[in-house]
Amino acid sequence: MKSRAEEILTTEQPVQGRTSILSDYMRALSAVVWKDLAAELRSRELFSAMMVFALLVILIFNFALELDAATRSSVTSGVLWVTFAFAGTLGLNRSMAIEKDRGCLDGLLLAPVDRSAIYFGKVIGNLIFMFIVEVIILPVYSVLYNTNLFNPGLLLVILLGSIGYVVVGTLLSTMAVQARTRDILLPILLFPVMIPIFIASVKASSGFLDGLEMEMISPWLNLLLVYDVIFTAVAFMLFDYIVEE
């Protein structure tokens, strides 16, 4: 018969082991995120490129689309997601290119941590940069196009769409960064895969801006949720094989 102390020790050891593994994983993930943020604070290379590009796209559309107020509101969701897609692609490409050119990617892969922590750390870092750009773009767009974009439903769509975009984009940018034509290869790989996200995001955004019933918007929100969950799981399983190649 085991004593009460022995039973407690045998039950606590696996729990402590799992807690230690989780804390190590979170420490590695946060280190990757902090590295990206610290490097960007020093260089401001990635964010400035995304921000300038996004503002240029909005300004070009503003002067190109000489439309009345009603028509402008009807193209709002399309213009927004074109801006987010182009700026996001530029950011994803530069994010992995910087890692490759500076030799940081090889160092990360040699670190004794689970490689999924590296992947999710890069995803969180890219999401932070993309959210910052979107937070600045929304009020600028509202002023230029005289459209109120501070709609809770629209913000939810932007959140879900951005997560799906960055989850897939980070995985494909890791694959494309090894090629010499990485700047051209990433959009070719990324945009066909992102068609469901773009369609669902534009439709859901238009629905919230036009004040449609939730019954008409919920299928597009469900598509965004399912896409995010499925492709996060796929990226989690494939990232290790991609970096091995």
**Per-residue pLDDT, 4:** 45
| pLDDT attached to residue 147 | 80
Any domain includes 185: yes
What average pLDDT does the segment 205-216 reach?
Answer: 88
Euclidean distance between CA atoms 67 and 35, whole angstroms:
45
Q: Supply the pLDDT for residue 71.
A: 65
What domain range is 115 assigned to?
Answer: 30-244
Assigned domain for 58 exists: yes
**Worst-scoring range by mean pLDDT, 101-110, 135-144, 166-175?**
101-110
Q: Are the C-beta atoms of 93 and 126 separated by less than 8 Å?
A: no
Residue at 129 is within a domain: yes
- State the average pLDDT for the chain: 82
How many domains, the chain? 1
Consecutive H or E run containing 176: helix 152-176
Residue 18 located in a structural domain: no
75 DSSP assignment: T
Residue 22, pLDDT > 50, answer yes
Region of residue 107 (phi > 0: left; psi between -120 and 50: alpha; otherwise: beta): alpha
166 and 92 Cβ atoms separated by less than 8 Å:
yes
pLDDT at position 1: 46
71 in any annotated domain: yes
C-alpha pair distances (Å), 199 with each of 64, 94, 137, 192: 23, 25, 20, 12
**Percent of the chain surpassing pLDDT 90:** 25
Is residue 214, in this structure, part of any structural domain at all?
Answer: yes
194, pLDDT greater than 80? yes
- Considering only residues 142 and 159, tell me which one the structure prediction assigns the higher pLDDT: 159
Of 16-20, 44-48, 157-161, the one with minimum mean pLDDT is: 16-20
What local confidence, expressed as pLDDT, does residue 69 receive? 60
**Which of 150, 139, 123 shows the shortest CA–CA distance to 58?**
139
**Residue 5 pLDDT > 60, yes or no?**
no
Asked if the structure places residue 19 within a domain, the reply is no
147 within some domain: yes
Q: What backbone torsions phi and psi does residue 31 show, to the nearest 5 degrees?
A: -65, -40
